[in-house]
Amino acid sequence: MRNNQQILYIDPMVDFGFKKIFKESGKKQLIIRPLNAIFGLDITDIDIRESEQLGLTEQERKVTYDMHCDTRDGHSFIIEVQLADQPYFMERAIFYSARTISQKGQSGKWDYDFKPVFFLGLLNFDIRHLEPEKADSQRFIHKFSLREDETHEQMSQALRFAFMEVDRFNKAKDECETFEERFLWMMKNLPTFVEKPELWDDPYFNEFMEQATFASMSFEEQEAYIASMKQKWDYDNSIEFAEQKGLARGREEGREEQTIEIARRMLDGKMPIEQIVEFTGLGEEQVRTLMPPQASA
């Protein structure tokens, strides 16, 4: 989608869209059901916390989450939407989760009997490198927990992570069988709809679309959303330009390597350097560097 097209539904993968649908709508089931499905839970209610969490001391920096919520019995959930690949995103997930655990302790009462913390990352980039043997896998949800390396025995339920590859998800609507697949399909394709689609017989997704309807927002909200999307469009354009530049550079480097290989073969055939320079366009000194040591001596 680009800004010259009519907007029917907002993009849940940009900051404004995600918060509008899942946080500000007041429809808690829109986030509860994915959490239950992904982590195998049965929670019925959550309290959505302030996104910004204070550091443990005045010197520590504040941490801002896209969404942070708790159940009444103390389970915590951190949801992060990430558009751009970052080299330490997984480490950031660990840091955020560990910070949440540390905040569960109360002064003088810390006995390490704390409720689990769950981290959900909704990603617009590819993390198949975490499982290189499954490079061609059709698995788009990656789950991690604390387990023994060889037996995979569960060490603790204290920390659990799930990462959903939204952008890489490539199944058609009719191929989506599980709730998680249908959720991924909606997260990726919702902003591309030019008319209301026929969905599955599940009221969840109708509610999803209703909360994402652009026309139902106030003028101020629409302006804020468009401003948010402009940032994403600028980012997408920058990535596209960089990729095209990289491809062009690759083609240029390929041509240069081919020319050098031709020059080497000419040298092996005892062709005079002057003719090689004229034929390949390489400089004389560059050609001389390609000569075997005994020939250039």
Given a cut of 80, whether residue 112 has pLDDT beyond it is no
H helices present in the chain, as ranges: 15-18, 29-39, 89-104, 179-189, 203-211, 219-268, 273-280, 284-289, 293-296
Given a cut of 60, whether residue 254 has pLDDT beyond it is no
Report, as an integer, the average pLDDT of 219-246: 74
Given a cut of 90, whether residue 160 has pLDDT beyond it is yes
Given a cut of 50, whether residue 76 has pLDDT beyond it is yes
**Confidence band, pLDDT 50/70/90 cuts, at residue 1:** very low
**Confidence band, pLDDT 50/70/90 cuts, at residue 70:** very high
Given a cut of 60, whether residue 187 has pLDDT beyond it is yes
Report, as an integer, the average pLDDT of 4-24: 87
Q: Please state the φ and ψ torsions of residue 289, each to the nearest 5 degrees.
A: -65, -15
User: 49-64: per-residue pLDDT in tens?
Assistant: 876 554 444 434 444 5
User: pTM, whole model, 2 decimals?
Assistant: 0.73
In the prediction, which pLDDT does 135 show? Answer: 55
Given a cut of 50, whether residue 270 has pLDDT beyond it is yes
Residue 124's alpha-carbon distances to 44, 111, 166, in angstroms, are 28, 39, 6
Distance from C-alpha of 230 to C-alpha of 225, rounded to nearest angstrom: 9
